[in-house]
């Protein structure tokens, strides 16, 4: 595939395409031509390879990038346990999980003005093990402070899919800058170092950390070659580097659920040029092209899948990221909201803004969450059932200004002590409030 090196002085320029091969150089001619590791790379840079898959992963799955930087990443001190303000860390997350079949719902998580990105992350639920590279973790974040001017963070545990609920994120990554606005998501693959500042104040949202594999676009099957999230709407940064050399930096690493820190006397943001397919990217959820039923019945929510991380079983995901954007409902003779159901897949939901059509009785609020675990029965609350089974079925636009989302997993999700107790957001009466008032309408004779 022919590629053109991208050169720009602009901080926020992007290259478009999902897992496209990108080349970018902040200084013209900084990329070696025709080879990856010349004896002397251009401008006295070092070549460094960043592998997101095994060297021998099939070509179709192989994700790696070549970085041309001022000092190799290896030049840092030994790691020691991270000195955090947040006692959540330095306890192995997966060991604190509890598995319970209750339907769970959380009130909006509080903003926290006192902490930065690193200290804001709270594991709420998860499955599997980062050490075994299997499963996922779900975090809530709420931060009010910039990361320290000379601090960078990376996770060795997995890819971060960041769903911003409030505020904006200014993210300096090794591979360039990304500015994340409301209703956008950001994916930062395993290992990539970054620093987050908050130019417009407090931020809040959700993170899915994928311990195994990487996100892909879902297959489109009979839908054809377009729709849902289109490849060209995924945006990767262009190379951008800081030249400052002689300063102490702290590098914070998340490694099997624990945080560590190391020091180095050079900036981690010194990548002058890079090429490859392993890079951070953002996507505006407003660009999702929604497909739906134009005849009758409520289709499976898989038609709203933005990204999927497959397991070894075809069609079964370790994690799906699914959204519920504003859309027209036109189905005839149909109970239009989601059906009542029990699912072998676990469903963690969040709300970025607005309302969610299955829960009109209140209680599912922006910045809140719910968890319907494997086979935990759920569906529209009594209020929604009452309205939807009696309403006049004219074409209706739902969700104007709304965006709910779901992290689905084939794995059973455990909930952390923080999620169940410490956050103090679990609604005591979720089950009763939603389904206790469902009345029998059964009549043997009509």
- The rounded distance, in Å, linking the Cα atoms of 359 and 368 is 13
Nearer of residues 290 and 423 to ligand OMD, judged by Cβ: 290
298 is catalytic: yes
Nearest by Cα to 326 from 364, 356, 302: 356
Q: Give how many residues touch ligand OMD by CB under 6 A.
A: 7
**338 belongs to the binding site for ligand OMD (CB under 6 A):** yes
The verdict on whether residue 341 carries a ligand-binding annotation is yes
Q: Which residues pair with 308 in a beta bridge?
A: 216, 320
Tokens of 160: 């971060």
Strand duo 281-284 + 234-237: pairing: antiparallel
Choices 23-31, 178-186, 280-288, 344-352; region in contact with Fe ion by CB under 5 A: 344-352
Q: Min. distance of Cβ 204 from ligand OMD in angstroms?
A: 22
- The rounded distance, in Å, linking the Cα atoms of 13 and 176 is 9
Q: CB nearest ligand OMD: which residue?
A: 338
Nearer of residues 182 and 338 to Fe ion, judged by Cβ: 338
The verdict on whether residue 417 carries a ligand-binding annotation is no
- The rounded distance, in Å, linking the Cα atoms of 57 and 48 is 19
Nearer of residues 180 and 406 to ligand OMD, judged by Cβ: 406
**347 belongs to the binding site for Fe ion (CB under 5 A):** yes
The verdict on whether residue 347 carries a ligand-binding annotation is yes
**347 belongs to the binding site for ligand OMD (CB under 6 A):** yes
Residue 166 falls in which region: left (phi positive, over 0), alpha (psi -120 to 50) or beta:
beta
Q: Which of residues 279-318 bind ligand OMD (CB under 6 A)?
A: 301
Which among ligand OMD, Fe ion, none contacts residue 52 (Cβ within 5 to 8 A by kind)?
A: none
Nearer of residues 232 and 342 to ligand OMD, judged by Cβ: 342
Nearest by Cα to 113 from 179, 180, 203: 203
Q: Min. distance of Cβ 313 from Fe ion in angstroms?
A: 20
| Residue window 294-333: x/- pattern of binding to Fe ion, with contact defined by CB under 5 A | ----------------------------------------
**378 belongs to the binding site for ligand OMD (CB under 6 A):** yes
**358 belongs to the binding site for ligand OMD (CB under 6 A):** yes
The verdict on whether residue 28 carries a ligand-binding annotation is no
* The only residue of 142, 147, 406, 415 in contact with ligand OMD, by rule CB under 6 A: 406
3-state DSSP of 320-385: EEEEECCEEECCCCCCCCCCCECCCCEEEEEEEECCECCECCCCCCCCCEEEECCCCCECCCHHHH
Q: Which of residues 256-275 bind ligand OMD (CB under 6 A)?
A: none
Nearer of residues 48 and 347 to Fe ion, judged by Cβ: 347
Which among ligand OMD, Fe ion, none contacts residue 147 (Cβ within 5 to 8 A by kind)?
A: none
**One of 22, 150, 275, 298 is an active-site residue; which one?**
298
Which among ligand OMD, Fe ion, none contacts residue 301 (Cβ within 5 to 8 A by kind)?
A: ligand OMD
Nearest by Cα to 350 from 376, 368, 326: 368
Q: Min. distance of Cβ 355 from ligand OMD in angstroms?
A: 12
Nearest by Cα to 200 from 141, 148, 144: 144
Which residues participate in catalysis according to the annotation?
298
Q: Residue ranges for the binding site? A: 341, 347, 356, 378
Question: Which residues of this chain interact with ligand OMD, rule CB under 6 A?
Answer: 301, 338, 341, 347, 358, 378, 406
């Amino acid at each position: 595939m022919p590629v053109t090196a991208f050169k720009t002085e602009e901080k926020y320029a992007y290259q478009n395409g999902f897992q496209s091969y990108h080349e970018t150089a902040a200084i013209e001619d900084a990329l070696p031509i025709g080879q990856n590791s010349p004896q002397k790379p251009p401008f006295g840079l070092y070549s460094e390879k960043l592998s997101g898959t095994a060297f021998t992963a099939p070509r179709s799955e192989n994700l790696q990038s070549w970085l041309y930087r001022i000092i190799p990443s290896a030049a840092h001190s030994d790691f020691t346990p991270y000195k955090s303000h947040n006692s959540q860390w330095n306890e192995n997350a997966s060991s604190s999980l509890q598995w319970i079949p209750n339907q769970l719902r959380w009130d909006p998580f509080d903003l926290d003005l006192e902490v930065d990105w690193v200290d804001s992350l709270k594991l709420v639920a998860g499955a599997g093990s980062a050490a075994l590279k299997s499963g996922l973790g779900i975090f809530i974040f709420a931060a009010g402070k910039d990361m320290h001017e000379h601090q960078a963070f990376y996770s060795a545990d997995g890819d971060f899919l960041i769903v911003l609920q409030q505020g904006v994120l200014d993210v300096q990554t090794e591979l360039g800058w990304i500015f994340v606005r409301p209703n956008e998501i950001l994916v930062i693959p395993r290992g990539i170092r970054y620093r987050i500042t908050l130019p417009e104040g407090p931020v809040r949202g959700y993170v899915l950390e994928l311990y195994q594999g990487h996100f892909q676009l879902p297959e489109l099957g009979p839908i054809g070659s377009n729709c849902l999230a289109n490849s060209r709407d995924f945006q990767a940064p262009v190379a951008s580097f800081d030249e400052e050399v002689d300063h102490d930096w702290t590098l914070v690493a998340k490694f099997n659920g624990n945080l560590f820190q190391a020091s180095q006397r050079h900036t981690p943001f010194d990548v002058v040029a890079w090429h490859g397919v392993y890079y951070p990217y953002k996507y505006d959820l407003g660009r999702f092209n929604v497909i739906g039923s134009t005849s009758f019945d409520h289709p499976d929510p898989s038609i709203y899948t933005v990204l999927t991380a497959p397991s070894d079983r075809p069609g079964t995901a370790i994690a799906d990221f699914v959204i519920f954007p504003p859309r027209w409902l036109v189905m005839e003779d149909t109970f239009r909201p989601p059906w009542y159901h029990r699912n072998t897949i676990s469903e963690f939901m969040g709300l970025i803004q607005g309302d969610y059509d299955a829960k009109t009785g209140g209680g599912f609020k922006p910045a809140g969450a719910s968890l319907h675990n494997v086979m935990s029965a759920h569906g529209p609350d009594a209020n929604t059932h009452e309205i939807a089974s009696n309403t006049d079925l004219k074409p209706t636009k739902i969700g104007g200004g709304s965006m709910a989302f779901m992290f689905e997993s084939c794995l059973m999700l455990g909930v952390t002590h923080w999620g169940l107790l410490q956050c103090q957001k679990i609604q005591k009466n979720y089950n009763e409030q939603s389904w206790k008032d469902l009345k029998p309408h059964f009549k043997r004779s009509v």
